Amino acid sequence: MQRNILITGGAGFIGSHLVRLFVTKYPDYRIYNLDKLTYAGNLENLTDIENADNYKFIKGDICDSGLVNSLFEKYNIDSVLHCAAESHVDRSISDPLAFVQTNVIGTVTLLQAAKNNWNGNFDGKLFYHISTDEVYGSLGSEGYFYETTAYDPRSPYSASKASSDHFVRAYHHTYGLPVKISNCSNNYGPFHFPEKLIPLCISNIINKKPLPIYGKGENVRDWLFVKDHVRAIDTIFHNGKNGETYNIGGHNEWTNIDLVKELCRQMDNKLGRESGESEKLITYVKDRAGHDLRYAIDASKLERELGWKPSLQFAEGLSETIDWYLENQKWLNDILNGSYINYYEQQYHKR
Ligand code: NAD
Ligand code: DAU
């Protein structure tokens, strides 16, 4: 079956894995990647598929309703996989309005375009919204987030994502728009922007720079390999039920300090450094304001109803991730020295 799918934020971390999966696995689907190329968007994430026949990149803002509507019309879009967002909690603390703009206004702009262009003819249509476990708030040492857990966002980032989730459900209930939502735990893997904990520490270990640990390093995150996340999105996109929410997670909880020590151990090994050498780089710094203590996802609905399971053990996924960063230091250095920003000009304006 042919489909015309708009993927937003496809030049980011998760979006680029999603674009690659759909472009390569479904040659009959046409994939349109709409991305503003903010600091987090990097077309070097997609060099292997950028010339595929069923793929097209469009540089633009999801808040630009003229552009978004023209894409629906021109390409006869029947599905949206909405990944674009401002995604970094620390940035949301210093600039909340940027998060309201893209995560709330941008999402509603896309919903409105889908509603108007599909115009009540919802056969074969889908608006799939990619969201986060952070909308559920913060757990103590016990318990899990379920699909039924009440929303309790506590950072400007999670508040903006919660708001966007509410708008998606509102368009489903009010206008009948076919929607699906998934809320995933922390991802890790190749192409992860080095402002987030794991790639930041990998980069700093390579360069023998301090590893900043917020507070006491006791906060807990539930880590999932990014390719397992996009496999889950693929499963939900094709087999999930209209109007439903699915939690996605790895059953893989780590305190930040234990995680960073494990990274140091594996990297000392791979880099031929003395055991314990990288741990000396660990530096405790001021805590994040309003730092959520623990996230832990119960993904049993997705496992039970749609048969999805994480494919990788964490040690294996982390090792694969470290190897990727060691083999792709040009990708990392292009970000560290800012030259990745020029890729769009070089690639798309040379023709
Ligand atoms: P990212 O920051 O790596 O990428 C975001 C992408 O969106 C970038 O390519 C950026 O250029 C683009 N973008 C930002 N604003 C835009 C705008 N106004 N118009 C068009 N494009 C714009 O983010 P990520 O980590 O890949 O996260 C993708 C989605 O998954 C987000 O919605 C995030 O909330 C969600 N999520 C992320 C994680 C995680 O651990 N990274 C976990 C669960 C859910
Ligand atoms: O849970 C899903 C969320 O995971 C996604 O929705 C977000 O988009 C994504 O950024 C991520 O949010 P976190 O805040 O959990 O990820 P981050 O990598 O920023 O931080 C992970 C933990 O490590 C967190 O407890 C804060 C801590 N940390 C982070 C950084 C950047 C440090 O101790 N030092 C650091 O330098």
Q: Which domains does the chain have, with CATH numbers?
A: 4-191+224-250+293-312 (3.40.50.720)
Confidence at residue 67, expressed as pLDDT on a 0 to 100 scale: 98
CB-CB contact of 46 with 10 (8 Å):
yes
Instruction: Give, for ligand 2, the residue of 83, 86, 87, 89 to mutate: max count of ligand atoms closer than 8 Å to Cβ.
Output: 89
Task: For residue 189, give the nearest of 344, 16, 47 by alpha carbon.
Answer: 16
Instruction: Give, for ligand 2, the residue of 161, 163, 196 to mutate: max count of ligand atoms closer than 8 Å to Cβ.
Output: 196
The mean pLDDT of 326-336, rounded to a whole number, is: 96
Burial zone of 66 (CB within 10 Å; 0-12 exposed, 13-18 middle, 19+ buried):
exposed
Query: Measuring from atom 34 of ligand 2, which residue has the nearest CA?
Result: 213
Within 8 A by CB and 6+ apart from 220, the residues are 253, 254, 255, 256, 293, 294, 295, 296
Is pLDDT at 347 greater than 80 in this prediction?
A: no
Task: For residue 144, give the nearest of 219, 87, 222 by alpha carbon.
Answer: 222
Task: For residue 248, give the nearest of 264, 225, 271 by alpha carbon.
Answer: 225
Strands 79-82, 55-59: pairing kind: unpaired
Confidence at residue 341, expressed as pLDDT on a 0 to 100 scale: 85
The per-residue pLDDT for range 114-143, each reduced to its tens digit, is 999 999 999 999 999 999 999 999 999 999
Strands 245-248, 179-184: pairing kind: parallel
Residue 245 pairs in a beta bridge with 181
Confidence at residue 315, expressed as pLDDT on a 0 to 100 scale: 92
Active site residues: 133-134, 157
Confidence at residue 350, expressed as pLDDT on a 0 to 100 scale: 57
pLDDT-above-70 percentage for the chain: 99
Cα 236 to ligand 1 centroid, rounded to whole Å: 19
The per-residue pLDDT for range 67-106, each reduced to its tens digit, is 999 999 999 999 999 999 999 999 999 999 999 999 999 9
The mean pLDDT of 133-156, rounded to a whole number, is: 98
Confidence at residue 351, expressed as pLDDT on a 0 to 100 scale: 46
Confidence at residue 345, expressed as pLDDT on a 0 to 100 scale: 80
d(CA 12, CA 307): 27
The mean pLDDT of 33-41, rounded to a whole number, is: 97
More confident residue, 1 or 280: 280
Cα 237 to ligand 2 centroid, rounded to whole Å: 26
Task: For residue 217, give the nearest of 193, 201, 199, 194 by alpha carbon.
Answer: 201
d(CA 186, CA 168): 22
The per-residue pLDDT for range 244-262, each reduced to its tens digit, is 999 999 899 999 999 999 9
Confidence at residue 254, expressed as pLDDT on a 0 to 100 scale: 98
CB-CB contact of 118 with 125 (8 Å):
yes
Mean residue pLDDT of the chain comes to 97
Cα 90 to ligand 2 centroid, rounded to whole Å: 8
Q: Is there an atom of ligand 1 within 6 Å of 187 CB?
A: yes
The per-residue pLDDT for range 211-230, each reduced to its tens digit, is 999 999 999 999 999 999 99
Rg (CA), the chain: 20
The mean pLDDT of 5-32, rounded to a whole number, is: 98
Count CB neighbours of 239 within 10 A. Answer: 11
Closest atom of ligand 1 to CA, residue 41: 9
- pTM greater than 0.85: yes
Q: Is there an atom of ligand 1 within 6 Å of 99 CB?
A: no
